[in-house]
């Protein structure tokens, strides 16, 4: 993780801003095993970023400082670290998430079919957060970029054709996810999130 910051097993509060006055947002990645979720995040962050294992949740956390419209933002990318092998995530994975990147492998049809399962579980915990969908590994099958996918159209989710191997569209995918997360945090539509935002202003 950047800067060698060690979060240990500490709870992370996404309701308020951090001590530096930065906005902190949580972006989660969902999808079947081996679709390339970790590789996509690592590709976006490039060198110098190492995942911090949070043993409490059995997941990896990548912390990324950036700016959105001249405002300092700290982004925590949460990665499943193998939990998805159980076909379900612990509720803590979804807690206070501000955006989600759903990933499938363009070379494996079953990973696309399973998007519906992941999406349904996500909506149980986070009914209103923005979602982006990524068709990964297009470098192995460029023909897939000529296809349209019913899942993204039906659920009105933007679809990105990406490659963790050569970097195609990876930066755009995560920049858009960060902007969507910040926008949602500032204007939450879920009543629980609205209450938390109001309490934070008191």
Cα dihedral 148/155/69/195 (nearest 10): -170
* CATH code, domain carrying 132: 3.40.50.300
Q: Are 157 and 101 in contact (CB under 8 A)?
A: no
- Reported as a single tens digit per residue, the pLDDT across 68-79 is 998 999 999 998
- The CA–CA distances, whole Å, from 194 to 15, 72, 100, 185, 200 equal 10, 22, 19, 9, 10
Query: Do the domain assignments include residue 164?
Result: yes
Give the other-Cβ count within 10 Å of 150's Cβ.
Answer: 8
Q: Which domain holds residue 16?
A: 2-186
Domains of the chain: total = 1
The pTM assigned to this predicted structure is 0.82
User: 3-state SS of the chain: helix, strand, coil percent to 5?
Assistant: 40, 25, 40
What is the pLDDT, as a whole number, of residue 145? Answer: 92
């Amino acid at each position: 993780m950047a800067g060698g910051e060690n979060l240990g097993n500490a709870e992370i509060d996404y309701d308020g801003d951090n001590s530096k006055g930065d906005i902190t947002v949580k972006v989660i990645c969902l999808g079947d095993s081996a679709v390339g979720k970790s590789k996509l995040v690592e590709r976006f962050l490039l060198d110098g970023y190492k995942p911090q294992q949070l043993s409490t949740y059995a997941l990896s956390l990548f912390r990324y400082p950036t700016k959105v419209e001249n405002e300092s933002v700290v982004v925590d990318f949460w990665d499943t670290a193998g939990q998805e092998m159980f076909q379900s995530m612990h509720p803590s994975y979804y807690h206070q998430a501000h955006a989600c990147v759903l990933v499938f492998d363009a070379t494996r049809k079953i990973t696309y079919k399973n998007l519906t399962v992941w999406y349904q579980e996500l909506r149980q915990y986070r009914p209103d957060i923005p979602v982006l969908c990524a068709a990964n590994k297009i470098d192995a099958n460029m023909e897939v970029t000529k296809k349209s996918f019913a899942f993204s159209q039906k659920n009105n989710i933007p679809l990105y054709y990406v490659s963790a191997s050569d970097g195609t569209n990876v930066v755009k995918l995560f920049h858009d996810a960060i902007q969507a997360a910040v926008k949602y945090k500032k204007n939450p539509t879920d009543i629980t999130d609205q209450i938390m935002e109001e309490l934070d202003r008191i």
